[in-house]
Amino acid sequence: MDWTTWYNSLDKPSWTPAPSFIGMMWSILYPIIVVTFGFVLVQCLRRRVPWMVAVPFGINLVANVAFTPIQFGLRNLPLASVDILVVWATIPWMMAAVWRHHRWVAAAQVPYLAWVSTATVLQLSITIMNWGRS
């Protein structure tokens, strides 16, 4: 079965956002992510920010990109839950790491943190509700 049929067959909490809302949220967040992550990378390349500031941004980016193939390609709910926990945990780390250098970059992560917090609770809920199916 294709991934949409598989995902639609999963038990989900009653408060699960519509797929169109989820897509809209990411379409708002991805430009923020591109601009702020790119800015941090450029600042590191120019040696205006220590490389250690970029570490949580890099980990976050890898985990964020890995989520879709894990969730919808492998259809591995427990591993997707671990992955989204990494995404979630790295956001406050990113904010703390960049705060003293560029506060606007840290502040720009607030909507990302809010959405990923919701998505993390949703993912953990779906994983628990479907334990043994993946």
Mean pLDDT score across all residues of the chain: 96
Give the three-state DSSP class for 1.
Answer: coil
The pLDDT assigned to 134 comes to 52
pLDDT at position 18 over 90:
yes
Coil/strand/helix, residue 78: helix
Q: Is 60 within 8 Å of 15 (Cβ atoms)?
A: no
Question: For residue 8, what are the contacts with CB-CB under 8 A and spacing of at least 6?
Answer: none
List, for residues 58-117, the tens digit of each pLDDT value. 999 999 999 999 999 999 999 999 999 999 999 999 999 999 999 999 999 999 999 999
Other CB atoms closer than 10 Å to residue 116's CB: what's the count? 23
Q: Where are the alpha helices (DSSP H) in 46-109?
A: 51-68, 77-99, 103-108
The SS3 call for residue 22 is helix
Of the candidates 55, 7, 41, 33, the residue with the CA atom closest to the CA atom of residue 116: 33
- Please give the span between the terminal C-alpha atoms of the chain, in angstroms, as a whole number: 14
Q: What is the mean pLDDT of residues 33-55?
A: 97
**pTM for the whole thing?**
0.94
As a whole-number percent, the residues of the chain with pLDDT over 70 amount to 99
Q: How many CB atoms lie within 10 A of CB 106?
A: 19
